[in-house]
Structure 1
Amino acid sequence: MNPIIALLKENNVSNDKIQELFQALTQNPLAAMAIVGQLGLPQEQLQLLMGQVMQNPALIKEAVEELGLDFSKVEEAKAKLQQ
């Protein structure tokens, strides 16, 4: 299991919320950040999560693919943010 998904599940984040988070990430990364804020993760867990992503950005792609979402949508959203 992807370590991002595993960390979320360890913190009692439901499968529906995980799916919602990554769906938002593929459509609007800013909205995904708002969802992360609503998950109620303890600060140390949130820092751990962000550290994992910063050290290995490929984890996002792996999680998106594990959930059966389209990673190309993440790339499109990222390009929009950079404009």
Structure 2
Amino acid sequence: MNPIIALLKENNVSEEKINELFQTLTQNPLAAMTTLSQLGLPQDKLQQLMAQVMQNPALLKEAVDELGLDFTKVEEAKERLQQ
């Protein structure tokens, strides 16, 4: 299991909320940050999650793939943000 998904599940984030978070990520990465902050993760766990993503951004792609979502949407959103 992807460590991002595992960390969310360990902190009692439902499968539905995990899917919602990653669906939001594929549509609007900035909005995903808001969704993430609303999950009620303890600050230390949120920092741990962010550190994992910063150290290994490929984890996001793996999580999106694991959930059966389209990672190309993340790339498209990222390109729009950079413009």
Same fold (TM over 0.5): yes
**Equivalent-residue separation in structure 1 for 2:32 and 2:26 (angstroms):** 9
Paired positions, count: 83
> Counterparts in 2 of 1:4-23, with a 5 A limit?
4-23=4-23
TM-score in terms of structure 2 length: 0.99
Aligned equivalent of 2:25: 25
Which amino acid in structure 1 is aligned with residue 28 of structure 2? N
Identity between Structure 1 and Structure 2 (%): 80
Normalised by the length of structure 1, the TM-score is: 0.99
Which residue does 1:80 correspond to in 2? 80
Runs of 4+ off more than 4 Å: none
Amino acid at match of 1:39: L
CA RMSD of aligned residues (A): 0.4
Gaps of 5+ in 2: none
CA distance in 1, matches of 2:12, 2:74: 25
Unaligned runs of 5+ in 1: none
* 1:56 paired to 2:63: no
- Note the C-alpha offset of 1:36: 0.5
